Amino acid sequence: MYKELVGKIVDQAREEAANLVVWDRRDTFTVESDDVDKIEVTDDYLRVDMQEGKATVYVLLESIYKLVVEKERSGRSRSGARTGFGTIS
If one counts every other C-beta atom within 10 angstroms of the C-beta of residue 53, the result is 9
Q: Which residues, listed in sequence order, are joined to residue 30 by a DSSP beta bridge?
A: 21
Residue 30 lies in a domain: yes
Provide the pLDDT for residue 53. 78
Total domains present in the chain: 1
CA–CA separation, 68 vs 31, rounded Å? Answer: 10
Domain containing residue 38: CATH number: 2.30.30.100
**DSSP bridge pairs for 20:** 31, 69
Instruction: Give the model's pLDDT for residue 76.
Output: 45
Q: Which pLDDT band, with edges at 50, 70 and 90, does 82 fall under?
A: low
Mean pLDDT of the chain: 84
Quote the pLDDT of residue 52.
79
Whether 68 is covered by a domain: the verdict is: yes
Residue 1's beta-bridge partner residues?
none
Q: What is the per-residue pLDDT across 20-77, written as a single tens digit (0 to 9) for each?
A: 999 998 899 999 999 999 999 999 999 999 877 788 999 999 999 999 999 875 554 4
Q: What are phi and psi of 21, to 5 degrees?
A: -100, 130
Model confidence pTM above 0.85: no
